[in-house]
Amino acid sequence: MGMAASPICAETFRIAADTLTIQVDQMPLREILSKLQESGVRVAIDDRINPLITAHFENREIGDGIKRILADCDYALSWNTIEGPVGKIHRLSEVLVYKPGDRRTLKPRPVLTAAVEQTHMSTNSIACLKNEILLRLRAGVTLEQFRALLLQNGAMVLDGIPALGIYRLRLPSGSNLAEKLNAMAGDPQVSAAEPNLVFRSISPVKTGDTGSVATPRTLTAATGPAVAILDSGFTPNAALEKAVVATLDATSPGQAITDPLGHGTQMAFLASGAVAPTGTDPSTESVSIIPIRTMDDNGISSSFSLMQSMVFAMNNGAKVISMSWGSTGNSPFFNDAIAYAKQQGAILVAAAGNEPTGQPFYPAASPEVVAVAAMTADGNIWNQSNYGSFVKFAAPGFADLPVGYKGPPGLYGGTSIAAAYTANVIARYMELHPTTDAATAVSALLKSLTTVPAAAGTIHPEIPRFNNTSISAYLK
């Protein structure tokens, strides 16, 4: 593959494939390391170190390039191995810079918040992560051919999902995402390319205070089908301790899971059965859960992070996946992940959304997902619940929760609550019917629903309810 050399101008810093290009004169080291961070590399440095760096070279192997930049410093490099269809790719993951023999004063530089941009694809404008694309190669592409493709486009591999054959790439800063996607998609070695789509947490609505903090039921050890909760994370709680099968912080792999928003922990209480929605019969069963943090501190996730989380959930035995987030944009790659989970025998449940637009909201609108609207405690459709032909039914959507969302505990409502509770009931059904398959479990649920005429004057059409009557019929 022929490659035209890119022009190198003053103060250039670029990582492409496994190479580094830099043109700087008397640039502070920390500024260079900030540019390295923008390329997805973790950085920690002693505050006392910040020499002025002059360096001029092009397409040098990245380890050797970093060695030249840090020639007068003590440092350590860490590498990740990315697995995928072309084989193993080694990627620089961390740089530590410190005084000779003294790492005690190392300070990690703040993790950069992923930048979001609007990109026009065909006739639609979609929210996605800036300077990132997802890529699937055609069968038979070699590592050297992939490397040449990366160099041609000034791109580097950030990560991969071997089970789905998808790579996550970082493009040069300031890239025109739509143009790069079109160029990549037209390359004979590329099977498909798409933006790294942004998904946002569905915020529950606080409807009141209870006067006292709700007391969740302390769960006994759970051994049945597990519910994976792809959400804002999880704060460990004594009431849920025995229900947790595994955890993952997909925003910072290797770190202990946290929940800065509280939403994921709220969903854990509902999916596990420690808390039941208002107006429902409390359960005595304990459901296993797999809390996964997919959202950053702003409640934003990407299709790649969510796909990674789904594969982790399946590898750890999840039979139900609860998803309380979404986007108006649809990701073909994420639909592949849904199909993968379904082929592994999982049932996917998603919140329909807390805005009554009547428009498709993904992943709930994906054909293979059970999309759930919300009911109030009196059995009516919640007026802020989304609706549309993609919604399968409405379920109880209000609960007195011992953990708040960005605030204190209390009464909360929303389609996220309805989805997490539905996931709990499906897991209980599968525990009662251990030989059943996913399709049978969903079919039995749909047959149990209660149809109630739409209330006069409401924008919501007639929709089946998943209420106490139908739930009792389902769990027989």
CA nearest neighbour of 454 among 398, 357, 363, 373: 373
Tokens, residue 389: 């032909």
Q: What pLDDT, on the 0 to 100 scale, is given for residue 238?
A: 93
Residues 92 and 179 in one domain: no
Residues 448 and 317 in one domain: yes
At 22-58, the pLDDT tens digits run: 999 999 999 999 989 888 899 999 989 999 999 999 9
> Hey, how many other C-beta atoms are within 10 angstroms of the C-beta on 88?
9
Residues 378 and 283 in one domain: yes
In CATH, what number is assigned to the domain containing residue 422? 3.40.50.200
Question: How would residue 3 be classed by pLDDT, with cut points 50, 70 and 90?
Answer: very low
CA nearest neighbour of 36 among 6, 74, 81, 69: 69
Residues 162 and 308 in one domain: no
Q: What pLDDT, on the 0 to 100 scale, is given for residue 210?
A: 55
Distance (Å, rounded) from C-alpha 139 to C-alpha 153? 20
Residue 4 is assigned to a structural domain of this protein: no
| Residue partners of 253: CB distance under 8 A and separation at least 6 | none
Of 407 and 136, the structure prediction assigns the larger pLDDT to: 136
Task: Mark which of 76, 108, 140 sits at the end of a domain.
Answer: 108
Average pLDDT of span 376-399: 94
Contact in structure between 270 and 424 (CB atoms under 8 Å): yes
How many domains would you assign to the chain?
A: 3
Residues 237 and 130 in one domain: no
Q: What range does the domain containing 187 cover?
A: 116-197
